[in-house]
Chain A
Amino acid sequence: DIQMTQSPSSLSASVGDRVTVTCRASQSISKFLNWYQQRPGEAPKLLIYAASSLQSGVPSRFSGSGSGTDFTLTISGLRPEDFATYYCQQSHSRPRTFGQGTKVEIK
């Protein structure tokens, strides 16, 4: 199985901040990497697919980059509704594994 490791596990930030979350794969996965947002009590929501493609309807303040083993999710200008947990997920091979999550909290 491909192991996905996110860092940090949690972070505190203020509205308007630029936030970066990192995801590392245990082996090269090219650009087969997705990002999801999960607010408390809700189902995950797709933000980014293929490492850097923005899902339809997702605000442009969200962006993704990376390839191989190292990936980042950036939120440029944090808004109140962005306080949530973010998961990366590899789609290179099955089983389709997720990172452990990064919780973005209000400072």
Chain B
Amino acid sequence: QVQLQQWGAGLLKPSETLSLTCAVYVGSFRGYDWSWIRQPPGMGLEWIGEINHGGSTNYNPSLKTRLTISVDTSKSQFSLKLSSVTAADTAVYYCARGFLLGTTSGNFYYMDVWGKGTTVTVSS
């Protein structure tokens, strides 16, 4: 069964760069999109961005100027870097697998496997 294991620094100071990595275990890395989603304390979910195995990315415009998502297919890993963090970036960050199901009615995208989440706190 596919598992996503994620890690990265949990405590940052303002202006530093947030860096997280997610590894895919048991299962194919190709044929899927790989996403990052975050959840501020007590709040809802925000899609950050995604990458496919070929390295094509899509970013949330609200974060685009500070965001880099990259992939290492040799290790079945993908990473998130968010620069110039502030307290507003404090959140639980999740990685997830995105699947595009092609049907006669359309191509339906959903995130079906999630990592356990990494808590990132930005504080001086």
The answer to whether A and B interact is yes
Spell out A's residues near B (CB within 8 Å).
Answer: 1, 30-32, 34, 36, 42-46, 49-50, 53, 55, 87, 89, 91, 94-101
Q: How far is the CA of A97 from the CA of B44 in the complex (A)?
A: 10
Inter-subunit contact A34/B110 (CB<8 Å): yes
Beta-carbon nearest neighbor of B61 in chain A? A95
Known: A96-B47, A98-B47. A91 touches B105 (CB 8 A): no
**Interface residues of B: mostly helix, strand, loop or mixed?**
strand
Max chain A Cβ within 10 angstroms of own Cβ: one of B35, B44, B61 = B44
Residue B78 lies at the interface, judged by CB distance under 8 Å to chain A: no
Q: How large is the interface on B (under 10, 10 to 19, 20 to 34, 35 or more residues)?
A: 20 to 34
Chain A interface mostly: loop
Q: Is B25 an interface residue (CB 8 A)?
A: no
| A41 and chain B: residue at smallest CB distance | B117
Which of chain B's residues have a CB closer than 8 A to the CB of A46?
110-112
Q: What are 18 A-B contacts defined by CB distance under 8 Å?
A: A31-B105, A31-B108, A32-B108, A36-B111, A43-B94, A43-B116, A46-B111, A50-B105, A50-B108, A50-B110, A53-B108, A91-B108, A95-B47, A95-B62, A96-B35, A96-B109, A97-B47, A98-B46
